[in-house]
């Protein structure tokens, strides 16, 4: 194929009427000519005869006029396409039986002599203190608010402190607990939310300069559900602008383990704040690694649920067919507790599937079949030593490790659906040139990615999604053949991250050691669709046998 030239790109730009702002001028774009159509076809890797191109010109011009008419109808980011992604393969059956949620026996906690140790208590430990009234929610909330104020200047993990709201919610929780109206383990527990989740009365900035003063007159479903559970919202936390990386309009969010480094993204503030003991838990999101990556870097434990598990109502849309919302916590069981409060249909998000969450800790892994990606673990990569020790530990716990491989698909190429859907979600920003306000402007940042996505033909976008259908079915058959509900993967290895984000499978990422820099490494446990309960239970058994999650960064060095 010929190398793309400027003339070819201009031809394609005219053809698609996507010449990045030219259609915003008062002057009408020139009519599409035979030469333009020929150059555009070359850009798309197509070959048509002169007669075929000539016959298409009137229709091409009609299409472009239609684009202009469609663009005059306002579309906000929350309007989803009338095409919904379905992660269910043919033959897959959802367990219809809902069982009571179970968790480990909670030992009675006591207040530490050094109050700073409270910063790293788990949710059940804090809940024990609150229910026994050794501490009030108001006192606990003030404790975390002070830590947020003290360490945010170093970490840059907070967009907005919701202090007034937090204190009001904490006092309400105290009154209810005192009156015997206990809502559960999250009652009175402070938390933070990634700043793509809307909360009435507060800014929802999406981490991006064009939206830094944006307020949305709604509460995201996840925030509503946490309020119903009695949790206390203390902060809207940073995210890489429009859910990429750890750079937002206020700077770069830092890794508490190495403050000269970023915390990765895009749930940058959520992982940084939890890792630093500024909050007991936070809500993050993932489209292609945005829970896994910052959890890895910051040493937190994160749950990326199955696609269709948690409502995205009130959340910024980057990719309607790939966005997922999940908790970032100190431990696996903390993730289970938070997930139990936020999952399920809400009447707003039409992609949600009503499936039970039957979490219960495992007494043992003895005799349990757990898959592992053999080629990935045997390859030469940075975290191989720690990951190999994870496999050894699983064997010690009695698990039967089953070698397996993922279906072979061009998954990195298929993830272009994110840029295409993102370009649609932020169409107005691109066409108005507001994308110039974003801090990151390199060739791999969103401004250029969204512009480039305008040149992806609708046919190729649909072909990638058709290939996802094949991938989903093959993943189902792979796990069925291996006879496993859970498998383990290097967090970044073997194409697992891209594959399972495309298929919508759930994962738990948790620390499994430290690298030569002294910063955390991680391992990922994967589960069958809607089997968060099983993957969490297996991950908990491994975590209970290690102590990596109990180690914390030194914030004062």
For every residue of 487-508, DSSP letters joined together read: EEEETT-TTHHHHHHHHT--EE
Tell me the C-alpha to C-alpha distance, in Å, between residue 520 and each of 329, 331, 337, 386, 546. 15, 15, 24, 10, 14
Q: CA-to-CA distance for 1 and 10, rounded, in angstroms?
A: 18
pLDDT tens sequence across 44-86? 899 999 999 999 999 999 999 999 999 999 999 999 999 999 9
Closest residue by Cα to residue 260 from 159, 154, 158, 157? 154
**Residue 217 domain flag:** yes
Q: CA-to-CA distance for 205 and 196, rounded, in angstroms?
A: 7
Q: Quote the pLDDT of residue 5.
A: 52
Average pLDDT over residues 239-248: 98
- DSSP label at residue 325: E
- 328 three-class SS: strand
Do 174 and 268 sit in the same domain of this protein? yes
* CATH code for the domain in which residue 191 is found: 3.90.1300.10
Q: CA-to-CA distance for 438 and 445, rounded, in angstroms?
A: 9
Tokens of 197: 């989740």
Place of tokens 């896994």: 292
**Residue 437 domain flag:** no
290 is catalytic: yes
pLDDT tens sequence across 250-268? 999 999 999 999 999 999 9
Q: Quote the pLDDT of residue 334.
A: 98
**Residue 267 domain flag:** yes
Do 138 and 61 sit in the same domain of this protein? no
Q: Quote the pLDDT of residue 105.
A: 74
Do 51 and 199 sit in the same domain of this protein? no
Do 69 and 123 sit in the same domain of this protein? no
Average pLDDT over residues 408-430: 97
pLDDT for 26 beyond 70: no
**Residue 455 domain flag:** no
Domain that holds residue 49: 1-73
73, 104, 132 — which closes off a domain?
A: 73
Q: For 248, list phi and psi in degrees, rounded to 5.
A: -125, -175
Do 124 and 27 sit in the same domain of this protein? no
**Residue 25 domain flag:** yes
Which residue(s) pair with 508 in the sheet? 303, 525
Do 178 and 39 sit in the same domain of this protein? no
pLDDT for 24 beyond 80: no
**Residue 449 domain flag:** no
pLDDT tens sequence across 312-368? 999 999 999 999 999 999 999 999 999 999 999 999 999 999 999 999 999 999 999
Do 301 and 351 sit in the same domain of this protein? yes
Residues 128, 290, 293, 311: which is the catalytic one? 290
Q: Quote the pLDDT of residue 43.
A: 87
Which residue(s) pair with 304 in the sheet? 507
Place of tokens 């673990």: 377
pLDDT for 2 beyond 80: no
266 is catalytic: yes
110 is catalytic: no
* pLDDT band with cut points at 50, 70 and 90 for residue 107: confident
pLDDT tens sequence across 114-142? 999 999 999 999 999 999 999 999 999 99
Average pLDDT across the chain, whole number: 94
Closest residue by Cα to residue 491 from 505, 473, 508, 478? 508
Place of tokens 């992806």: 456
Q: Quote the pLDDT of residue 19.
A: 38
Q: CA-to-CA distance for 103 and 532, rounded, in angstroms?
A: 14
**Residue 447 domain flag:** no
Residues 194, 324, 531, 534: which is the catalytic one? 194
CB 457 within 8 A of CB 26: no
**Residue 84 domain flag:** no
pLDDT tens sequence across 287-320? 999 999 999 999 999 999 999 999 999 999 999 9
73, 100, 124 — which closes off a domain?
A: 73
Do 58 and 132 sit in the same domain of this protein? no
Q: CA-to-CA distance for 22 and 24, rounded, in angstroms?
A: 5
Q: Quote the pLDDT of residue 27.
A: 56
The pLDDT > 70 percentage for the chain reads 95
CB 197 within 8 A of CB 311: no
Return the HEC string of 266-317: CCHHHHHHHHCCCCCCEEEEECCCCCHHHHHHHCCEEEECCCCCECCCCECC
Q: CA-to-CA distance for 377 and 402, rounded, in angstroms?
A: 13
Q: Quote the pLDDT of residue 23.
A: 38
CB 41 within 8 A of CB 4: no
Sequence-separated (6 or more) residues with CB below 8 Å from residue 218: 198, 200, 313, 314
Q: Quote the pLDDT of residue 30.
A: 87
Closest residue by Cα to residue 216 from 236, 235, 196? 196
Do 300 and 385 sit in the same domain of this protein? yes
Q: What is the pTM of this model?
A: 0.94
Closest residue by Cα to residue 115 from 132, 139, 131? 139
Report the range of poorest mean pLDDT among 4-18, 325-339, 506-520.
4-18
Q: For 254, list phi and psi in degrees, rounded to 5.
A: -100, 155
Q: CA-to-CA distance for 124 and 157, rounded, in angstroms?
A: 25
- 230 three-class SS: coil
Q: Quote the pLDDT of residue 28.
A: 65
Which position has the higher pLDDT, 22 or 158? Answer: 158
Tell me the C-alpha to C-alpha distance, in Å, between residue 280 and each of 62, 186, 542. 56, 10, 21
Please state the domain count of the chain. 2
Do 126 and 218 sit in the same domain of this protein? yes
Q: CA-to-CA distance for 282 and 82, rounded, in angstroms?
A: 31
Do 164 and 26 sit in the same domain of this protein? no
Do 401 and 512 sit in the same domain of this protein? yes
Residues 266, 293, 321, 491: which is the catalytic one? 266
Q: Quote the pLDDT of residue 10.
A: 45
């Amino acid at each position: 194929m010929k190398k793309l030239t400027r003339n070819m790109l201009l031809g394609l730009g005219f053809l698609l009427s996507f010449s990045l702002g030219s259609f915003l001028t008062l002057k009408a774009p020139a009519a599409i000519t035979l030469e333009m159509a020929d150059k555009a076809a070359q850009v798309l890797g197509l070959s048509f005869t002169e007669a075929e191109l000539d016959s298409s010109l009137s229709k091409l011009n009609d299409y472009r006029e239609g684009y202009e008419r469609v663009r005059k109808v306002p579309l906000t980011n929350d309007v989803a396409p009338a095409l919904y992604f379905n992660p269910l393969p043919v033959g897959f059956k959802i367990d219809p039986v809902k069982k009571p949620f179970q968790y480990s026996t909670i030992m009675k906690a006591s207040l530490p002599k050094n109050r700073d140790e409270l910063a790293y208590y788990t949710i059940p430990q804090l809940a024990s203190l609150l229910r026994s009234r050794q501490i009030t929610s108001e006192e606990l909330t003030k404790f975390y608010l002070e830590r947020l104020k003290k360490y945010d200047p170093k970490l840059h993990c907070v967009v907005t402190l919701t202090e007034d709201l937090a204190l009001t919610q904490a006092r309400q929780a105290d009154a209810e607990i005192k009156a015997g109206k206990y809502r559960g383990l999250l009652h009175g527990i402070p938390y933070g939310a990634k700043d793509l989740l809307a909360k009435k009365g507060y800014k929802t900035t999406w981490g991006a300069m064009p939206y830094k003063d944006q307020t949305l007159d709604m509460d995201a479903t996840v925030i509503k559900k946490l309020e119903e559970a009695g949790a206390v919202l203390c902060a809207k936390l940073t995210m890489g602008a429009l859910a990429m990386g750890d750079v937002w309009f206020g700077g770069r969010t830092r890794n508490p383990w190495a403050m000269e480094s970023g915390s990765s993204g895009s749930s940058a503030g959520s992982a940084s704040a939890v890792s630093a003991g500024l909050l007991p838990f936070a809500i993050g999101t993932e489209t292609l690694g945005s829970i896994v990556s910052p959890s890895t870097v910051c040493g937190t434990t994160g749950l990326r649920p199955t696609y269709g598990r948690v409502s995205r109502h009130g959340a910024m849309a980057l990719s309607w067919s790939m966005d997922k919302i999940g908790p970032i916590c100190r431990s696996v069981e903390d993730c289970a507790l938070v997930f139990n409060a936020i999952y399920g249909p809400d009447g707003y998000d039409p992609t949600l599937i009503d499936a039970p969450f039957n979490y219960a800790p495992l007494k043992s892994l003895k005799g349990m079949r757990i898959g592992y990606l053999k080629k990935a673990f045997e390859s030469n990569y940075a975290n191989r030593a720690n990951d190999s020790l994870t496999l050894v530990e699983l064997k010690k716990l009695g698990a039967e490790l089953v070698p397996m491989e993922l279906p072979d698909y061009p998954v990195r190429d298929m993830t272009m659906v994110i840029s295409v859907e993102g370009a649609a979600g932020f169409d107005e920003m691109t066409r108005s040139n507001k994308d110039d306000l974003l801090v990151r402007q390199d060739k791999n940042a969103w401004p250029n990615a969204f512009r480039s996505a305008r040149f992806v033909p609708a046919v190729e976008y649909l072909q990638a999604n058709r290939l996802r259908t094949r991938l989903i079915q093959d993943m189902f058959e792979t796990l069925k053949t291996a006879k496993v509900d859970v498998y383990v993967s290097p967090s970044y290895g073997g194409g697992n991250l891209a594959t399972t984000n495309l298929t919508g499978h759930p994962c738990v990422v948790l620390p499994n050691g430290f690298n030569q820099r002294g910063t955390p490494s991680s391992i990922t446990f994967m589960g069958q669709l809607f089997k968060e309960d099983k993957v969490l239970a297996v991950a908990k058994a491994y975590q209970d046998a290690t102590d990596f999650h109990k180690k914390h960064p030194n914030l004062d060095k």
